[in-house]
Amino acid sequence: MDITKLPFNQFIGVEHCKREGYVLSLPSGDRYTNHLGTVHASALMSLAEATSGEVLLRAIGHVADSIVPVVRRFDCKFRKPASGSIAARAAIPDAAREQLLADISTKRRGSIEITVNIYDETDLHCLSATVEWFIAQR
């Protein structure tokens, strides 16, 4: 599955990021701004959620056809106002990945927390989020 091809992600313009070390991005544009002229909170949160899904699929994509992942919880902290394009970083530690796969194998379900950080085009750290995914076997 390509996260950028999900209808909502296509609608808002989520892209695979070309910047080294980043996963996904949203381009610069007036449609992403709020009443202050900075990137809207919902754009930042949408990119964080999409990025967490992307890294989840990269980590356990070999079982993607047999699972149903859904977001259980989303926590975030807004750090600084973002301007221009935004890009996201995230990774899953090997131990967390292995535990998730073991839980899915033995319990037919599991959960994992994925930390995502969003930066604007000046590399200003704008948002930190933790996205908890619940994964069940079909």
Confidence of residue 62 (pLDDT cuts 50, 70, 90): confident
Tokens of 14: 């989520």
Question: What pTM does this model have?
Answer: 0.95
In this prediction, residue 56 carries a pLDDT of: 96
Q: Which domains does the chain have, with CATH numbers?
A: 3-137 (3.10.129.10)
Please give the average per-residue pLDDT across 12-18, as a whole number: 97
Q: Is the pLDDT reported for residue 65 higher than 90?
A: no
Residues 67-76 pLDDT 10s: 999 999 999 9
Tokens of 53: 């899904």
Q: Is the pLDDT reported for residue 61 higher than 90?
A: no
Confidence of residue 63 (pLDDT cuts 50, 70, 90): confident
What b/e string do you get for 86-110 counting C-beta neighbours within 10 Å, with b at 16 or more? bbbbbebeeeebeebbeebeeeeeb
Residues 90-138 pLDDT 10s: 999 999 999 999 999 999 999 999 999 999 999 999 999 999 999 999 8
Please give the average per-residue pLDDT across 46-75, as a whole number: 94
